[in-house]
Amino acid sequence: MMPLAFRKKERPAVRKIEIYDTTLRDGSQAEEISFSVEDKLRITEKLDELGVQYIEGGWPGSNPKDAEYFNKVRKLSLSYSVVAAFGSTYKPKHRVEDDYNIKSLLESKARVVTIVGKTWDFHVKELFKIPLQENLEIIYNSISFLKNNVEKVFFDAEHFFDGYKDNPEFALKCVQAAEAAGADCLVLCDTNGGTLPHDLKKIVLGISKRVKVPLGIHVHNDSDCASPHS
Ligand SMILES: [Zn+2]
């Protein structure tokens, strides 16, 4: 019989897993899907009944329908779920407090905000056309500003796995900037859905050793990796 101390050490640590549902934002971008505000409110109630911890209600800065949803969802008496608003870091060459998208997030009065930011150096150079250091400042400033105004801020690390494969040091610096700014969860996103499970596992484990805040995962199913296979 193995000594008890050894067996204890071998026992996997119990970790709390929380569910964050993106049906109302990401799901509504799928083909042939168009939710009305009323649909979104009913789905919110159903997700609450299921006991989902966080419901991403929409992107208030992107369309008036989502802004209306946030006005109405506050009047629902949800018993379990917290509704989160989604948006992006402020635009390069803008000031965080003047950015339309950031202001819309605050106007939504959501207690939780999820902010998506670039973590692939290719995108920073080609789309933002700014130095890499400036992207780290954008992430840091966006999150610290929001943290002063809402209860929780989650960081969606966009194209994280593609970025990590190209430039691991920079991708790590991006999530560390979010952590330093007070992000409550670092959500690693496989935005193209092309990362295979063995690579994904290796990268997530590597990142978990370099940051202290909880990690989240948001993967797309473009390569069918999310489907059960025999
Ligand atoms: Zn997504």
Q: What pLDDT digit, counting tens, does each position of 37-67 carry? A: 999 999 999 999 999 999 999 999 888 999 9
Rounded to the nearest angstrom, the distance between the alpha carbon of 132 and the centre of ligand 1 is: 23
81-103, pLDDT tens digit by residue?
999 999 999 999 999 999 999 99
- The total number of structural domains in the chain stands at 2
pLDDT of residue 30 exceeding 90: no
Task: Please tell me whether residues 149 and 163 are part of one structural domain.
Answer: yes
- Residue 4's pLDDT is 44
Query: Quick one: 104 and 196 in the same domain?
Result: yes
- Do residues 207 and 107 both lie within one domain? yes
Q: How far is the CA of 182 from the centre of ligand 1 (A)?
A: 22
CA 50 / ligand 1 centre spacing (Å) = 21
Structural domain harbouring 76 = 18-84
Residue 225 is predicted with a pLDDT of 79
* Boundary residue ending a domain (66, 84, 102): 84
How is residue 186 written in tokens? 């670092």
pLDDT of residue 2: 40
Which stretches within the chain are classed as H helix? 4-10, 37-50, 64-73, 100-107, 121-123, 132-147, 160-166, 168-180, 197-208
Residues 6+ apart with CB under 8 A from 1: none
Distance 193 CA to ligand 1 centre (A): 9
Residue 5 lies in a domain: no
